[in-house]
Amino acid sequence: MHYVENNALLKDGDLLLIDAGCELDYYASDITRTFPVNGRFTSEQRALYEIVLDAQQAAIAKTVVGNHWNEPHDAAVKVITKGLKKLGLLEGSVARLIKDEAYQQFYMHRTGHWIGMDVHDVGDYKVGDEWRMLEPGMVTTVEPGIYIGNSRKVPKRFRNIGIRIEDDVAVTRKGPDVLSKGLVSDPDGIEALMNASA
């Protein structure tokens, strides 16, 4: 999920995942985009990228007043599990795969975290034993991902692919406000951006 050495050579066919942030007026941001180094996703990379993007959009739609903290995560998990099953990377019923947390071999983190004066800001995710309800003014990241290692259990064409898409989302009375909406995230836009700068 996080590569800290930053010393590998970028090769044709690789993906580059950039997890970055900045501060403005003492407020933090946290965004992630995944780029194909050569300007084009392979069909497998694109398929996984589209699952992650669909999961992010489903999670953002649940980042609304009155939903609890975990609803965006649940929405992302459902989309990711369905997508991985469709690609043949998971087998079984979606309900059973979710209950057994089979998706966690490819998606092992939460869908977001509080963000504000710090990148991982203070705030409870639960009150007592219950998930905290989302309220106007709260800001969270929404960052689903899929990470496939070099396991022989996975078809070779899917190995060593990692994708995360992260945006910052404010909870408002009018619905989710994606604060980082100006950053391209659709795969065609990503490819156009890469090829425009080549």
Single pTM value for the model: 0.96
Tens-digit pLDDT profile for residues 114-164: 999 999 999 999 999 999 999 999 999 999 999 999 999 999 999 999 999
Q: Residue 197's pLDDT is what?
A: 64
> Do 166 and 30 touch, CB atoms closer than 8 A?
yes
Q: Which helix (H) or strand (E) holds 162?
A: strand 161-164
Q: Using the predicted structure, report yes or no on whether residue 26 has a pLDDT greater than 70.
A: yes
Q: Is the pLDDT of residue 45 over 80?
A: yes
Domains and CATH numbers, the chain: 21-196 (3.90.230.10)
Residue in the block written with tokens 């409870």 = 124
Residue with tokens 């991982």: 120
CB-based contact 48:163 (threshold 8 Å):
yes
